[in-house]
Amino acid sequence: MIGKAIVIMVPLLIAALGGLFTELAGVLNIALEGLILSGAFAAVIATEISGSFFIGITAAIITSTAIAFLFAVTSLHLKGNIFVTGLAINLLVPPLTAMVSKGLFGTKGVIRLEDSLGNQDVFMTLAILLILTFVSVVILRYTPFGLYIRTAGINRDFLESRAVSTRKIQTFAILISGAACGLAGAIISLRLGVFIPGISAGRGWIALVAIYLGNKKPLPILAACFVFAFAETLSDSAQGLIEIPATIILSFPYFITILGLILYSIFKK
């Protein structure tokens, strides 16, 4: 069961680590959800057309980064309200995916691939998770870029006084979160070999809460993602043991997330 949780937590952690860059840079990124969804969609489309998972994943990363760029332009350069523009991204992606899929495949609904990535080896997955976490720690702590990002979130005037453009740093952070969400989305859809509208299923929000719960530090975020993934596994297997209707199970991630958020707020002091 722990193995299953580790597999589930991969996309969650990747999205959360990407979101960590924006969060530290002082950007409230509620667009994670839409970015994950666009990645999941682009991955399936590109894999279907090219027949290669690698191209699918690359396309997902590029697509989500492009949409993240739109988010960055409207919120940073046009100075939109970051909350409203983030919401806009989340609202923009579902109709866009429906349009493209209707145009390409004549369906607004499920797109199924012949093949799927399937479940990879648990220890490999675990190793990759640890490496990713480690890499983000290194980037954020020990590189000038990481320092700029953290400073952007704390004191932007200081950064400007050093002739570093906060806006540029924040734009980069948003692009990184876009790329990460694209990868996360690709993993979600390619693992199953299918795209379903709404396949991101609140993972962007869970990732956002994982960032808060993890106190904006990579390792605790890893732990928080594991807790969420484990809770999801538990509720999945609860379905087999007790008779809980499937639709109610769908609400669990949200309840768990809000519970996590409340606990975080209580113990923050």
Partner 1 sequence: MRKTNRIFGQFTGAVITLTAVILIAVIFLLIFSPDKSESIYYFFIGPFLNSLSIGNLLSSFTLLTFSGLAITVAFKADVFNLGGEGQIYAGAIAATAVLIYMPRLNGISGFLLASATAAAAGGILAGISGFLKTRWKVDELISSFLLSNAIIHIIDYLITGPMSDRNSYLLTTKMIDEKFYLWQLIRPSNLNSSIFGALLAVVIISFLLFYTKQGYELRICGMNREFAHYGGLNTAFYITVPMVISGALLGLAGSSAVLGIHHATIKGFYSGIGWNGIAVALIAGTNPIAVIPSAFIFAYLNQAADTAMLKADFPFELGGLIQAIVFLLISSKLISERTGLKRGRK
Number of residues that bind partner 1 (CB under 8 A): 46
Best CA proximity match to 24, nearest among 207, 216, 268, 225: 216
Ranges within 26-55 binding partner 1 (CB under 8 A): 26, 28, 30
Beta carbon of residue 115, minimum distance to partner 1 (angstroms, whole number): 28
State the Cα–Cα distance between residues 115 and 191, nearest whole angstrom: 9
Task: Find all residues with CB under 8 Å of 68, minimum gap 6, and list them.
Answer: 31, 35, 174, 175, 177, 178, 179, 181
The answer to whether residues 216 and 24 touch, using CB atoms and an 8 Å cutoff, is yes
Q: Please, which residue, 114 or 243, has the CB nearer to partner 1?
A: 243
The letter for the amino acid at 17 is L
Q: Please, which residue, 52 or 251, has the CB nearer to partner 1?
A: 251
Interface with partner 1, residue 238, by CB under 8 A = no
Q: What is the DSSP secondary-structure string of 159-210?
A: HHHTT--HHHHHHHHHHHHHHHHHHHHHHHHHHHTEE-TTTTTTHHHHHHHH
Beta carbon of residue 88, minimum distance to partner 1 (angstroms, whole number): 3
Query: CA angle 119-124-128, nearest 5°?
Result: 105
Interface with partner 1, residue 2, by CB under 8 A = no
Q: Rounded to 5 degrees, what are φ and ψ at 194?
A: -155, 145
The answer to whether residues 23 and 199 touch, using CB atoms and an 8 Å cutoff, is no
Q: Please, which residue, 51 or 198, has the CB nearer to partner 1?
A: 198
Interface with partner 1, residue 66, by CB under 8 A = no
The answer to whether residues 192 and 47 touch, using CB atoms and an 8 Å cutoff, is no
Q: Please, which residue, 22 or 133, has the CB nearer to partner 1?
A: 22
Interface with partner 1, residue 170, by CB under 8 A = no
Contact characters 121-150, partner 1, x per CB under 8 A = ------------------------------
- Per CB under 8 A, which region of 43-51, 57-65, 96-104, 139-147 contacts partner 1? 96-104
Contact characters 189-228, partner 1, x per CB under 8 A = -------------x--x--xx-------------------
Interface with partner 1, residue 265, by CB under 8 A = yes
Q: List strand residue ranges (DSSP E) for 50-204, in order.
A: 111-112, 194-195
DSSP 106: S
Contacts with partner 1, residue ranges (CB under 8 A)? 26, 28, 30, 70, 74-75, 78-85, 87-89, 91-92, 94-96, 98-99, 102-103, 108, 153, 202, 205, 208-209, 245, 247-248, 250-251, 254-255, 257-258, 261-262, 265-266, 268
